[in-house]
Structure 1
Amino acid sequence: MTHLHQRFQSFSHSSAATLMMRTINMGVLVFVLSVLMVGCQTFGGKKDTFESLTRGDVSDLPTPDPVVQASFVDSARKSTDKVVNFVTMKEQENVDKAKKLYQQGDAIFRDAQSQQGLTAKDTFYKASKTFRRAAEAAPGTALQQDAMFMESESLFFSDRLTDASESYGKLQKQFPRNRHNDLITARLFNISRYWIDTEKATEGKWKLPNLTDYSLPMIDSDGHAIRLLDQIRYDDPTGKLADDATMAAAAEEIRQKEFDKADAFLTDLRETYTDSDHLFLAHLLGIRCKLEIYAGPKYSGLILEEAEKLVQQTRKRFPDKMQEQKYADIVARAAAEISFHTAERLAYRAEFREKKKEYGAARYYYNKLLAHHQDTPHAETARVRLAEIEKLPDVPTQRLSWLTTVFPDSTSSSPLEPKFDDNNKPATESEGPTLLR
Structure 2
Amino acid sequence: MKSAPQPSPISSFRRCRNALTTTWSLVALACVTGCQSIPGTPTGFGEIFGRPDESVDAADEPPARENLISQVSHTTESDIEATAADKTTWETTQDQATSVMNFVTGREQVDHSKAKDLYQQGDAEFRRASGMDRQEAQDAFLGAAKLFKRAAEAAPGTAIEQDAMMMRGESLFFADRLPDAVDVYQTLQKDFPRNRHNDRVAARLFSISRYWIDVERATEDDWFTLDLFDRTKPRLDADGNAVRVLDQIRYDDPTGRLADDATMAAAAEYIRQGKFEMADEFLTDLRESFPDSEHLFLAHLMGIRCKLEVYAGPHYSALLLDEADKLVKQTRTRFPDKMRDQKYADMVARAAAEIDYLKAEKLFKRAQYRDKQKYFGAAAGYYQRILDNYPDTPFAETARERLQAVNDQPVRPAKRLSWLQNLFPDRGNNKPPLEPTYETILR
TM range, smaller chain:
0.7 to 0.9
Deviation at 1:406, TM superposition (A): 3.5
1:125 aligns with 2:142: yes
**Match in the other structure for 1:7:** none
Deviation at 1:83, TM superposition (A): 3.1
Distance 1:262 1:40, change over 3 A: closer
Once residues 250 and 182 of structure 1 are traced to their aligned partners in structure 2, the CA distance between those partners, rounded to angstroms, is 21
8 A contact 1:210–1:216 mirrored in 2: no
Counterpart amino acid of residue 373 in structure 1: Y
**Match in the other structure for 1:321:** 338
**Match in the other structure for 1:204:** 221
Structure 1: runs of 5+ lacking an equivalent: 1-31, 42-69, 413-437
Distance 1:33 1:198, change over 3 A: farther
Counterpart amino acid of residue 249 in structure 2: I
Once residues 379 and 400 of structure 1 are traced to their aligned partners in structure 2, the CA distance between those partners, rounded to angstroms, is 37
**Match in the other structure for 1:271:** 288
1:37 aligns with 2:55: no
**Match in the other structure for 1:408:** 426
Once residues 427 and 94 of structure 2 are traced to their aligned partners in structure 1, the CA distance between those partners, rounded to angstroms, is 73
**Match in the other structure for 2:47:** none
1:390 aligns with 2:374: no
1:215 aligns with 2:199: no
Counterpart amino acid of residue 229 in structure 2: T
Matches within 5 A, 1:201-280: 201-280=218-297
1:151 aligns with 2:168: yes
Distance 1:253 1:404, change over 3 A: farther
Deviation at 1:141, TM superposition (A): 1.3
Distance 1:140 1:399, change over 3 A: same
Once residues 421 and 235 of structure 2 are traced to their aligned partners in structure 1, the CA distance between those partners, rounded to angstroms, is 71
Deviation at 1:202, TM superposition (A): 0.8
Q: TM-score, normalised by structure 1?
A: 0.77
CA RMSD of aligned residues (A): 2.3
Deviation at 1:152, TM superposition (A): 0.6
Deviation at 1:357, TM superposition (A): 2.4
2:172 is paired with a residue whose SS is: helix
Matches within 5 A, 1:12-161: 36-37=20-21, 71-161=88-178
2:410 is paired with a residue whose SS is: coil
Once residues 35 and 292 of structure 1 are traced to their aligned partners in structure 2, the CA distance between those partners, rounded to angstroms, is 72
Counterpart amino acid of residue 263 in structure 2: T
Deviation at 1:80, TM superposition (A): 3.0
**Match in the other structure for 2:435:** none
1:186 aligns with 2:170: no
**Match in the other structure for 1:359:** 376
Once residues 95 and 243 of structure 2 are traced to their aligned partners in structure 1, the CA distance between those partners, rounded to angstroms, is 40
**Match in the other structure for 2:362:** 345
Distance 1:396 1:153, change over 3 A: same
Deviation at 1:156, TM superposition (A): 0.8
Counterpart amino acid of residue 175 in structure 2: S
Deviation at 1:307, TM superposition (A): 0.5
Q: Which moved more, 1:81-90 or 1:279-288?
A: 81-90
Once residues 175 and 396 of structure 1 are traced to their aligned partners in structure 2, the CA distance between those partners, rounded to angstroms, is 72
1:144 is paired with a residue whose SS is: helix
Deviation at 1:72, TM superposition (A): 4.5
Deviation at 1:91, TM superposition (A): 1.2
8 A contact 1:121–1:159 mirrored in 2: yes
8 A contact 1:366–1:386 mirrored in 2: yes
**Match in the other structure for 1:308:** 325
Distance 1:233 1:40, change over 3 A: closer
Once residues 411 and 135 of structure 1 are traced to their aligned partners in structure 2, the CA distance between those partners, rounded to angstroms, is 81
2:170 is paired with a residue whose SS is: helix
8 A contact 1:35–1:79 mirrored in 2: no
Deviation at 1:40, TM superposition (A): 11
Counterpart amino acid of residue 259 in structure 2: A
Deviation at 1:405, TM superposition (A): 7.5
Once residues 321 and 203 of structure 2 are traced to their aligned partners in structure 1, the CA distance between those partners, rounded to angstroms, is 37
Deviation at 1:82, TM superposition (A): 2.5
Q: TM-score, normalised by structure 2?
A: 0.76
Distance 1:137 1:33, change over 3 A: farther
8 A contact 2:219–2:225 mirrored in 1: no
Deviation at 1:407, TM superposition (A): 4.5
**Match in the other structure for 2:43:** none
Once residues 35 and 93 of structure 1 are traced to their aligned partners in structure 2, the CA distance between those partners, rounded to angstroms, is 25
Counterpart amino acid of residue 342 in structure 2: Q
1:290-323 Cα offsets, whole Å, 9 max, x none, are 1111110011110000001100111111111111
Once residues 193 and 369 of structure 1 are traced to their aligned partners in structure 2, the CA distance between those partners, rounded to angstroms, is 47
**Match in the other structure for 2:353:** 336
Deviation at 1:144, TM superposition (A): 0.8
Counterpart amino acid of residue 364 in structure 1: G
Structure 2: runs of 5+ lacking an equivalent: 1-15, 26-86, 431-443
Distance 1:92 1:411, change over 3 A: farther
| Number of equivalences | 353
1:154-194 Cα offsets, whole Å, 9 max, x none, are 11111111100110000000000000111111111111111
Once residues 189 and 272 of structure 1 are traced to their aligned partners in structure 2, the CA distance between those partners, rounded to angstroms, is 19
Distance 1:79 1:396, change over 3 A: farther
Counterpart amino acid of residue 408 in structure 1: D
Once residues 107 and 186 of structure 1 are traced to their aligned partners in structure 2, the CA distance between those partners, rounded to angstroms, is 24
Distance 1:296 1:40, change over 3 A: closer
Once residues 39 and 194 of structure 1 are traced to their aligned partners in structure 2, the CA distance between those partners, rounded to angstroms, is 53
**Match in the other structure for 2:193:** 176
